Amino acid sequence: MKYYLIAGEASGDLHGSNLAKELRRQDENADLRGWGGDLMESAGVTLVKHYRDLAFMGFVEVLMNLRTILRNLAFCKEDILRHRPDVLVLIDYPGFNLRVAEWAKTQGIRVVYYISPQVWAWKESRVKKIRATVDKMLVILPFEQDWYRTRWDYGVEFVGHPLMQVVNEFLAEHRPEAEYLKPVIALLPGSRKQEVAVKLPVMLEAARAFPDYQFVVAKAASLEEAFYQEILKEHPGVLSVRNDTYALLAEATAALVTSGTATLETALFGVPQVVCYKGSNISYQIAKRLVKIKYISLVNLIMDRPVVTELIQGECNPTAIERELRLLLFDEQKKAQVKNDYYELKQLLQQGGNASEKAAAAVIATAKPQSA
Can you spell out the DSSP letters for 266-292?
HHHTT--EEEEE---HHHHHHHHHH--
**pTM of the predicted model, to two decimals?**
0.80
pLDDT band at 372 (very low <50, low <70, confident <90, very high): very low
Please answer whether residues 316 and 276 qualify as being in contact, where contact means their C-beta atoms are separated by less than 8 angstroms. yes
CATH of 168-350, one of 3.40.50.2000, 3.50.50.60, 3.10.180.10, 3.40.50.1970: 3.40.50.2000
From residue 137, alpha-carbon distances to 33, 106, 131, 208, 338 in Å are 20, 18, 9, 46, 32
Length of the chain equals 372
Residue 202 has pLDDT above 50, yes or no: yes
Torsion angle (degrees, nearest 10) of CA 226, 227, 229, 232: 180
From residue 119, alpha-carbon distances to 88, 116, 246, 328 in Å are 21, 8, 29, 32
Mean pLDDT calculated for residue range 351-365: 91
Residue 216 has pLDDT above 70, yes or no: yes
- What lies within 8 Å, CB to CB, of 186 at 6+ separation is 216, 218, 245, 248, 249, 252, 254, 255, 256, 257, 266, 271
Please answer whether residues 359 and 138 qualify as being in contact, where contact means their C-beta atoms are separated by less than 8 angstroms. yes
Q: Which residue has the higher pLDDT, 311 or 62?
A: 311
Residue 68 has pLDDT above 50, yes or no: yes
**Span 2-160+353-367: which CATH code?**
3.40.50.2000
Question: Judging by DSSP bridges, how do beta strands 157-158 and 184-188 pair with one another?
Answer: unpaired
d(CA 98, CA 129): 8
Instruction: Return the domain boundaries, the chain.
Output: 2-160+353-367, 168-350
Please answer whether residues 256 and 186 qualify as being in contact, where contact means their C-beta atoms are separated by less than 8 angstroms. yes
Whole-number percent of the chain with pLDDT over 70: 91
How many C-beta neighbours within 10 Å does residue 298 have? 25
Same fold, 2-160+353-367 and 168-350: yes
pLDDT for 370 equals 47
pLDDT for 371 equals 43
One-letter amino acid of 108: G
Q: What is the chain's mean pLDDT, rounded? A: 90
pLDDT for 121 equals 79
d(CA 92, CA 129): 15
Sign of the dihedral through C-alpha 340, 170, 201, 284: negative
